[in-house]
Structure 1
Amino acid sequence: MLIQCTKKLLDTLKKRPDHVENVPPLYSWHANLLTINRRKTVVLMNDVSRYTVVLYGLKAADFRKLDGLIADAIRRTLSDASVNPEIIERYLSASPGCVYAKTKNRAMVARLNKACENVQFRGEVLDPNDLIQSAAGRGTSKILVGNSSGDYIIPDEVMYKELAKLTDQPVIQCRAAVIKATLVLENHDVWRRVVVPLDITFRQLHRILQVLFQWTDSHLHEFTVYKGGKPSARLVCDKEALDFPGNIPMFMENDRLLSEFARKGICIIYAYDFGDGWNHVLKVESIDENSTKNVPVCLEGKENTPPEDVGGEWGYEDYLKIMNDPTHPEHDERVEWSGDQSDQIFDLDDVNFRLETML
């Protein structure tokens, strides 16, 4: 693997740059060293696709074993994107080890700097307990960027096309579930049907549901898995909840994958905002064992979601009554209170755009 480093990174590695020619762009990466949240961070950008891989919180000892960390980071980032493991290993074995050289030219450095900016923008979500920041790399690789011909590309799509040339197998290989999520409302039919990869955590499922229903992630939430009509597991977002165990096994949502519980026909209740009491019934309608889509996709949906903090179902009915009556004495006050939520509508294209860039 050819790693073309900025001077700052070469100085940190205490390496003299090698002179290397004729390395295929798929096996060539540009790399920079920067500081994010006071932690040393290496950002790698693939030359042909601009796919991004991130190492975060590096110590002096880590730089001495950077070859292995780079291979591990590429492997984990592609694996978390549901790339076929055989293709990943074929890619890594085709160019074992790392050779370090100077950056190629100003154009490539400009592209690398843009990738670094996009990683820095995601600084608040970087995990201080993990060297390999798979989510940041994959998220950055979903951002539309320009190329030398004046067109725009999405790095991960280009990377998958390049990897496809190494084999006749599908690049993306994962299991996925079709889930119908219904917001429990007596007088309204609010639901979304979505395809989600099964190898996501319940924390990621929470984020997907927030996008689907246009919530703002301003309140606590939890999941309850039902088996045979009875609750069999609770997945919570707050560690303090673990101090109050009940008769149902309780787990942190970050520690469990959807695949551990999802079966055709199973029911999961997603509770959001315990004050307003928004309950969503998640029904697993089917399982696709050979999905080639590694991001959630909303297939269809119906009706809009109530505004945040509206006061639950009763408050929502009162809100609608006032909003639909311009002569009501509280109408103007409610319009001002609701702000952007007053004209919030379910837009399938917008929802899918947001879903595609989140995992």
Structure 2
Amino acid sequence: MIRLHCTKKLLAKLPLHSSGSLKRKRPLPYAANDEPESPLSGWHANLLTIQRRNCVLFVHDSTRFPVLATCLTKPDFAELDWWFQDALLNTLLKSGANEAQMDAAESALAELVCDSECDRSVQATMNRMGQDLEYQIWYDRLPISDLAPYRTGAWLADRPCTVKGVKGAIWPQREMLALLDTARR
């Protein structure tokens, strides 16, 4: 399972079972990992409304790696597992992940289990990334439907982030690829 800490705004939109898993209609594209906790577990997610469209920004807790899903409709929230897996793998490709890292990511994918716990440090990073995203859309005068979410996620990952308790800054793209290198061993 992949633990997903959702904001109240996002949690209100998700159709959840009492266990925290999504009430989905179609099977997951990748669910090879049936361990209790996946090596990729630990994400925060926030619902952003950009140009009256629902977008979800996911940020990995330890690496601060962002994943973006744009233009979601109400039925898409039941399939958030699928949207997350698709966006994660494609953002990793845009970030320069090699084949071994992609295989490690694919084997670590599992179903999302949602809750409302939060870490203020991760939320601060997520808010900053959301503001940068909105500024890019405003500055480039882009319709949100024309935005390339995978490339935008890679762009957000290629910048330093501060983490509470860590001296200096971390680079999300490097940290996620290093995590995938250790996960495949």
TM-score normalised by the shorter chain: which range applies?
0.7 to 0.9
Aligned: 1:147 with 2:148:
no
C-alpha contact 2:38 2:108 (8 A) present in aligned 1: no
Contact 2:71 2:144 in 1 (8 A): no
1:115-126 → structure 2 map (5 Å cutoff): 115-123=129-137, 124=140, 125=142
1:24 and 1:72, CA in 2 relative to 1: closer, same or farther beyond 3 A?
closer
TM value normalised by structure 2? 0.77
The structure with the greater share of residues assigned to strand is 1
| 8 Å CA contact retained: 1:146, 1:153 | yes
Matched, 1:43 2:60: no
Counterpart Cα distance in 2 of 1:68 and 1:150: 35
Q: CA deviation at 1:103?
A: 3.1
Equivalent runs, 1:3-14 vs 2, <5 Å: 3-14=4-15
User: Deviation per CA, 1:285-314, whole angstroms, max 9, x where unpaired?
Assistant: xxxxxxxxxxxxxxxxxxxxxxxxxxxxxx
Aligned with 1:134 (options 144, 150, 153)? 150
Count of residues in correspondence between the two structures: 166
CA RMSD of aligned residues (A): 2.6
User: Which amino acid is 2:129 matched to?
Assistant: A
Where does residue 176 of structure 2 map in the other structure?
Answer: 159
- Give 1:18 deviation, angstroms: 4.8
Quick check: 2:40–2:109 contact (8 Å CA) kept in 1?
no
Deviations for 1:239-259, whole angstroms, at most 9, x for unmatched residues?
xxxxxxxxxxxxxxxxxxxxx
* Cα shift at 1:85: 3.5
1:204-243 correspondence to structure 2 within 5 Å = none
Matches within 5 A, 1:242-321: none
Instruction: Give the unaligned 5+ runs of structure 1.
Output: 169-359
8 Å Cα contact 1:8-1:33 kept in structure 2 = yes
Deviation at 1:83, TM superposition (A): 1.1
- Displacement over 3 Å in runs of 4+: 16-19, 22-26, 124-127
**After superposition, what is the alpha-carbon deviation per residue over 1:213-260, rounded to whole angstroms, capped at 9, x for unaligned?**
xxxxxxxxxxxxxxxxxxxxxxxxxxxxxxxxxxxxxxxxxxxxxxxx
Is the radius of gyration larger for structure 1 or structure 2? 1
- For residue 68 of structure 1, what is the amino acid of its counterpart? W
Q: CA deviation at 1:107?
A: 2.5
Match of 1:110 in 2: 124
Structure 2: runs of 5 or more not aligned: 21-35
Cα drift, residue 129 of structure 1: 4.9
